[in-house]
Structure 1
Amino acid sequence: MGAVRWKSVVKYFPLTVVLMLALYLIDNSTSNVVTQENLVIFKENKIVTNNNTISGCDLFSGKWVYDDVSYPLYKEGECTMMEDSFACEKSGRKNLKYQNWRWQPHQCDLPRFNGTALLEKLRNKKLIFVGDSLGRNQWRSFICLIEPYLPPLSRRGGVSHNLFDVFGKHVKEYNATIRTYWSPYLVESNCDDPIRHSADSKPTIRFQSIEKHGRNWINADVLIFDTFAWWTVPDITLLWGSLENSNAIYKQVKMSVREYEVALNTWSEWVEFQVDRNRTKIFFMSASPFRLGKTHWGTSPSCYNITKPIFDETYWANGVDRNLMEIVESTLKKLEERGIKVEYMNATQLSGYREDARPSIYRPFLKVALKDITPNKYADCLHWCLPGVPDVWNQILYAYIMKS
């Protein structure tokens, strides 16, 4: 009987091999992003980005999967560039499972992050995150991700001591600069001082002026912009003329999408006429979701004591104004029609699932007694703990940079 079975196997062996090879090819044809020896390899040469896809895979559509084997990608205490505002473990948070969630796109896998490959890609280049504290949150994550790959000389220094403004890391061996630039409205305002500003005050905005900031970005090779949270205040003052000019014209208005649209038009005109489109790669981050409220950051304390992600894929954070997002998308579409491609990083929904990954009360508060740190006033439900959600933003950013 055994001999008969063996003859049967031998008889159909060629057919079996053909079938196995066909199944292998079919299976691999659906995987557009793969990793090999820690380097990103894309099967197609063309990026399709008008619907947030790379090689046909939507990296922004997926789910969070618990993974305590390969995540976090770095340890909070080992990142020398960590900022206390985002160091939730250092500030006393005990439940650290927020560090172990991996973003899993539906149609593919995120490319494995390789800091050495990224630094080689950024050799002799300058990358700048431009925006508010969420941009700084992402920049910190970016630096923490690449720090384990830095050569010894660059690990020992090269960091500016200005905490908020033109604050960056220069990697000497690669002549690569990775900076963050404080500009919460992108256009000029009275909130542009990186230290002496307040989101609680009524801002004054020169919504048609950007040159003062733009001269600091113009020679960058990679620009990542974000501006959203500061546009959620109820009232603003519009300014025609200089902040220092006593004859300038001021007009106080209720905040509306119109002001946001005018400011983004100012930004888009700067991009069109000042940026070398053959040199500079531009990204625009979508709104980082949060719920409006009356905490110190103008947010709801709803993230306090949340320990798990949201698994309902239809969930939408109710603090995100879709109208503002549509203005961004419309602005980028008009730029593309004029020949300037800006990659839209639409990470709003994937981030909205992660209320568990906020600092909440686990961040330093100067001159505030521990007993007075109540969630209703001090829960930070705007920013993100590190390691955490911004690491995923940067993994996706990494995929785009490596492909470009």
Structure 2
Amino acid sequence: MRNLCLPQMGVTSPLKAQTHSRSFTAKFFPYVLYALFPIALFRFYFHPFPFPLSTTDQLPHSNRIILTSSSSSPSSLSFSTEEETANEAPCNYTDGRWVHDKMGPLYNGTICGTIKDGQNCISHGRPDLGYLYWRWQPSQCDLPRFDPNTFFHLLSNKHIAFVGDSMARNQLESLLCMLATVSNPNLVYTNGEDNKFRRWHFASHNVTVSVYWSPFLVRGVEKSKTGPDHNELYVDVVDERWGSDLDHLDMVVLSMGHWFLHPAVYYEGGSVLGCHYCPGLNQTEIGFYDVMRKAIKTALRTIIGRKAASGDGIDVFLTSFSPSHFQGEWDKAGACPKTEPYREGEKMVEGMDADMRSIAVEEIEAAKASSKQFGGLRLETLDVTKLSLMRPDGHPGPYMYQFPFANGLQEHVQNDCVHWCLPGPIDTWNQIMLQVIKRWRS
């Protein structure tokens, strides 16, 4: 085959037959190009041709090329990224999936001294540790790992309170364990059965973290072995066990839901409003959804009203409902044996889980609207319902007890399929909370 690019050895080149003029042009034409190229580049750099608007509009937002100009510098090209526009469109952490993560958790459950025994799955002998190696990946952005130093920097000299039921305590202990990786928490106050009221102080940054037991947020009388077998709630009166301390709080994380499933009688304005699951009490059955909504309204209205009156600001999170994963009835040998997360589409937020989540989201949005005239009040739903629903593997299960199968398989072992192992999926709640705080501060 004839070589069309280079003359071969011993063969006369066809260029030899061409005129001298053409040979001269071919010889010097490349040098002309070399001379013109830097001139063209110089012209384009200082006087770039505008891109047609229609072309730019057709590009995906994250890849658009935007022309920027400044009075002190020539026009330049920059790429707009999702990260740069985060303040304009906050990341939606609600939608996403769980993906494998080789790095694992920030802390070791065997050495974190603040974890309630029932959630210390590692020290209780849980043999499968795969549940530790997953991370939540939002659909349209990234969720950075929790950075304790950033948290301390943003909340130095602040008092953060977790108010609610045992899920509030579960989230609090997750935060304490992650913060303890860089600074020692000092327990400075404890009170109540099962230490339901506790306070820690991080001297390194003067950060105080408290937990207040208040499963209804409003005033309530919990059922007991010696009293009625139902709870009593006063839906229009806040629980002053935490409400009276609002003057000293800079951030409040509210969490509730599961206790509203229990039998209860409800009061409003000094009269009986109705009841939930109260056969034999001769009261009107009204369910618990509207009552839960009233309780959230009362809590948020109290926070906004008292902080607005004092002129102080406050940050408020309301953690959405965290679904349980019992296979079977929780009090009839129900268990949560899965060892991996659900895949996307395998489990949907529906029924009671969806209804309770919606109440939280709606009430926070309503509170935002009503508090616009007050400065320094920031409210947000910590929407963890979907990401929690997808993690049936993250509960203590039988390992709420220490080495439950040490003496062989038992006929009946109680399982905890409500709370979360520490470390575990609940650490992600605090990851998201930190990102929202960062956005607020910026």
Calculate the TM-score normalised by the size of structure 2. Answer: 0.71
Contact 1:184 1:191 in 2 (8 A): no
Aligned partner of 2:347 in structure 1 is 315
User: How much is the aligned-residue C-alpha RMSD, in angstroms?
Assistant: 3.6
Aligned partner of 1:295 in structure 2 is 330
Matched residue SS, 1:158: strand
Aligned partner of 2:222 in structure 1 is 191
Alignment of 1:375-386 (within 5 A): 378-386=414-422
- The one-letter amino acid of 1:236's match is A
Q: CA deviation at 1:240?
A: 5.6
Aligned partner of 1:67 in structure 2 is 101
Cα distance 1:380–1:45, how it changes in 2: closer, same or farther (>3 A)?
closer
Alignment of 1:244-263 (within 5 A): 252-253=275-276, 254=285, 255-263=287-295
Aligned partner of 1:39 in structure 2 is none
Contact 2:146 2:430 in 1 (8 A): no
Is residue 177 of structure 1 aligned with residue 213 of structure 2?
no
Q: CA deviation at 1:143?
A: 0.5
Cα distance 1:373–1:219, how it changes in 2: closer, same or farther (>3 A)?
farther
**Which residue of 252, 265, 278 corresponds with 1:223?**
252
Alignment of 1:3-402 (within 5 A): 26=63, 29-32=80-83, 43-44=84-85, 46=87, 55-68=89-102, 70-150=103-183, 154=184, 157-162=186-191, 163-191=194-222, 201-210=229-238, 212-213=240-241, 214-233=243-262, 235-239=263-267, 252-253=275-276, 254=285, 255-276=287-308, 279-291=313-325, 294-296=329-331, 301-303=334-336, 305-313=337-345, 315-316=347-348, 320-340=352-372, 341-364=378-401, 378-402=414-438
Q: Tell me the distance in 2 between the aligned counterparts of 1:136 and 1:46.
A: 31
Q: CA deviation at 1:374?
A: 5.4
* Deviation readout 1:245-300 (Å, 9 max, x if unpaired): xxx8685443332212222222232122112475211111110012576424xx98
Q: Tell me the distance in 2 between the aligned counterparts of 1:372 and 1:239.
A: 46
Cα distance 1:318–1:61, how it changes in 2: closer, same or farther (>3 A)?
closer
Cα distance 1:367–1:402, how it changes in 2: closer, same or farther (>3 A)?
same
Matched residue SS, 2:204: helix
- The one-letter amino acid of 1:364's match is Y
Contact 1:190 1:204 in 2 (8 A): yes
Aligned partner of 1:245 in structure 2 is none
Cα distance 1:342–1:197, how it changes in 2: closer, same or farther (>3 A)?
farther
Question: Paired residues, what number?
Answer: 356
Q: Structure 1 stretches of 5 or more lacking a match? A: 33-42, 48-54, 243-247
Q: Tell me the distance in 1 between the aligned counterparts of 2:304 and 2:252.
A: 14
Q: Tell me the distance in 2 between the aligned counterparts of 1:122 and 1:259.
A: 34
Matched residue SS, 2:305: helix
Contact 1:289 1:317 in 2 (8 A): no
Q: Tell me the distance in 1 between the aligned counterparts of 2:248 and 2:437.
A: 17
Q: Tell me the distance in 2 between the aligned counterparts of 1:366 and 1:66.
A: 27
- The one-letter amino acid of 1:202's match is H
Contact 1:238 1:252 in 2 (8 A): yes
Q: Tell me the distance in 1 between the aligned counterparts of 2:225 and 2:429.
A: 27
Contact 2:255 2:319 in 1 (8 A): yes
Aligned partner of 1:38 in structure 2 is none
- The one-letter amino acid of 1:326's match is S
Q: Structure 2 stretches of 5 or more lacking a match? A: 7-29, 46-58, 65-78, 277-284, 373-377
Contact 2:265 2:272 in 1 (8 A): no
Q: CA deviation at 1:312?
A: 2.5
Contact 2:159 2:208 in 1 (8 A): yes
Report the identity percentage. 26
- The one-letter amino acid of 1:324's match is M
Contact 2:322 2:384 in 1 (8 A): yes
- Most deviating of 392-401 and 107-116: 107-116
Contact 1:138 1:391 in 2 (8 A): yes
